[in-house]
Chains A and B, each alone.
Chain A
Amino acid sequence: MIEMKNVSKWYGSFQVLKNCSTRVKKGEVVVVCGPSGSGKSTLIKTVNALEPFQQGEITVEGISVGAPGTDLPKLRSRIGMVFQNFELFPHMKVVDNINLAQIKVLNRSSDEAHAKSMALLKRVGLEAHAQKHPGQLSGGQQQRVAIARGLAMDPIAMLFDEPTSALDPEMINEVLDVMTELAREGMTMMVVTHEMGFASRVAHRVIFMDQGEIVEDANKGDFFGKPRAERAQQFLSKILHH
């Protein structure tokens, strides 16, 4: 469904992505991990063209992301994205955050959008907070709203960019639970995270990045059993034995 071929990206003379190739099949959950500054967030943001890239090719269901004629808003509306800092729109109520793109992009009627939003809020356990502003919610609650906002577009895939990194520890699980359930239902997901517990329970595949390169791209069992690359071994031993 998502296919990357030899993607490279530079900031000036600094190369942030080096010949990255991978593919995500329908229904697959792929976790992207690696030390900070390794290009994981940049990689995931190239999938919906939030970050442009200079070389290589990315296709989503056969549509080329980098091609000049691609209808990017349309492509993006089919891929949900969840950010590290939630990025809910602070000037709108929770329910309006979820309604907005349904009405403006998918042209749903406001009744239809509202019903969908409320159903999704119920699903993430926040229907009582629909009329509040995001600032009145905890981080974990905001992130669940952000997931609901992405799901409201009936996406073909969801991208998660460090969804729990900005959360207090006690709120991490409420977000991971929603994501786990989503994965169980067969959602195609690409998740940048340091939560190795989540990766070992939910992921099908794990991609390990270092210095802009995909160093390891393996099935979950192989990755946690015995990663081939030395850098991945070091990384795993650091984060699993702290």
Chain B
Amino acid sequence: MFSDFDFEVIVSALPFLWEGMMFSLGLTLLAMLGGIFLGTLLALMRLSPFKILSYPAGAYVNLIRSIPLILVIFWFYFLIPIAVKNISGNPYAAGIGPFYSALIAFTMFEAAYYCEIIRAGIQSVPRGQVHAAYALGLNYRQATTLVILPQAFRNMIPILLTTSIILFQDTSLVYVVGLTDFMGAASKIARRDGRLVELYLFAALIYFIICFTASYFVKRLQARYNVGRN
């Protein structure tokens, strides 16, 4: 099987694959930042004593978490242009393009997962810390941003990063809306040159190296935090 393994194919495809990798990493990073921001808001809403905030956030999180990611990507790609047309009343209104629709889909999807992590992180901050912040005269916003969230995020960093590693793998789903990420690039070359074994093995190897290395660093980070806490 490996007797006719052709490394040349991979070498010549490297620039194209590199472009795909930059796309994957970029999308991961943007969706992660957006997801954590939105997830934080959702978590604060879910923890709010006001039902008008906590119920919609809870419903959103439970809905999104019950739907496959690939469906969410489809929805945003096909439904957002329709929504834009209906809202603007302009039947010729342009869509936002596959990249932004995918970015929004990933952000909204990941936000639901980040929300649950961040909610647990906020709840892990002792009640006494909240009392101490309020006793000093800080208001809700100040107590949250200056005292609670910094501690919550410190506890959450390992699991947030782990979730982001999975997000990185999931970005390969963007092929369904015609975008070319790393996986898509490998797939295109593989079919063009008829070199499925080489390209898919190479893609798997690269995913493995990146994700394994990242997981390793997350573990080290976690160990360091645990030591610091005792």
**Residues of A that sit less than 8 Å from B by CB:** 45, 48, 50, 72-74, 76-81, 83, 85, 87-91, 100-101, 104-106, 135, 149-150, 153
Binds A, one of B8-16, B24-32, B87-95, B126-134: B126-134
Cβ contacts B121-148/A at 8 Å (1 or 0 each)? 0000010110111111111001000110
A76-B136 in contact (CB<8A): yes
A83-B136 in contact (CB<8A): no
Bound together, the chains give a CA A90 to CA B225 distance in angstroms of 13
A76-B147 in contact (CB<8A): no
Bound together, the chains give a CA A48 to CA B133 distance in angstroms of 12
A83-B132 in contact (CB<8A): yes
Q: Which of B128, B135, B150, B151 contacts A76 (CB 8 A)?
A: B135
Cβ contacts B82-126/A at 8 Å (1 or 0 each)? 000000000000000000000000000000000000000000001
Query: B191 an interface residue at 8 Å Cβ cutoff?
Result: no
Query: B154 an interface residue at 8 Å Cβ cutoff?
Result: yes
Chain B interfacial residues counted at CB < 8 A: 19
Q: Which of A74, A81, A91, A135 contacts B154 (CB 8 A)?
A: A91
B128-A85 in contact (CB<8A): yes
B136: chain A residues within 8 A (beta carbon) = 76-77, 100-101, 105, 149-150, 153
B128-A83 in contact (CB<8A): yes
Q: Which residue of A lies closest to B131 (CB)?
A: A50
The 10 A-B residue pairs whose C-beta atoms are closest, nearest first, are A77-B137, A87-B132, A101-B136, A81-B135, A105-B137, A87-B128, A73-B137, A76-B137, A73-B139, A91-B150
Q: Which residue of B lies closest to A50 (CB)?
A: B131
A100-B135 in contact (CB<8A): no
Bound together, the chains give a CA A81 to CA B134 distance in angstroms of 10
**Residues of B that sit less than 8 Å from A by CB:** 126, 128-129, 131-139, 142, 146-147, 150-151, 154, 228
Q: Which residue of A lies closest to B147 (CB)?
A: A89
A73-B154 in contact (CB<8A): no
A45: chain B residues within 8 A (beta carbon) = 131
A89-B129 in contact (CB<8A): yes
Bound together, the chains give a CA A45 to CA B134 distance in angstroms of 11
Bound together, the chains give a CA A100 to CA B132 distance in angstroms of 12
Q: With A89-B129, A91-B154 as given contacts, are A104 and B135 in contact (CB-CB < 8 Å)? A: no
A149: chain B residues within 8 A (beta carbon) = 136
A105: chain B residues within 8 A (beta carbon) = 136-138, 142
A153: chain B residues within 8 A (beta carbon) = 136-137
A48: chain B residues within 8 A (beta carbon) = 135
A76-B132 in contact (CB<8A): no
Sample of 17 more A-B contacts, CB < 8 Å, known A88-B132, A89-B129, A91-B150: A50-B131, A50-B135, A73-B134, A73-B138, A76-B136, A78-B137, A85-B126, A87-B126, A87-B131, A91-B154, A100-B138, A101-B136, A101-B137, A104-B138, A104-B146, A105-B142, A153-B137
5 contacts between A and B (CB under 8 A): A89-B132, A90-B151, A91-B150, A105-B136, A153-B136
Bound together, the chains give a CA A88 to CA B147 distance in angstroms of 10
Bound together, the chains give a CA A88 to CA B136 distance in angstroms of 11
Closest-CB distance, B148 to chain A (whole angstroms)? 10
Q: Which residue of A lies closest to B129 (CB)?
A: A87
A89: chain B residues within 8 A (beta carbon) = 129, 132-133, 147, 151
Bound together, the chains give a CA A153 to CA B138 distance in angstroms of 12
Q: Which residue of B lies closest to A106 (CB)?
A: B137
B142: chain A residues within 8 A (beta carbon) = 104-105
Bound together, the chains give a CA A106 to CA B138 distance in angstroms of 10
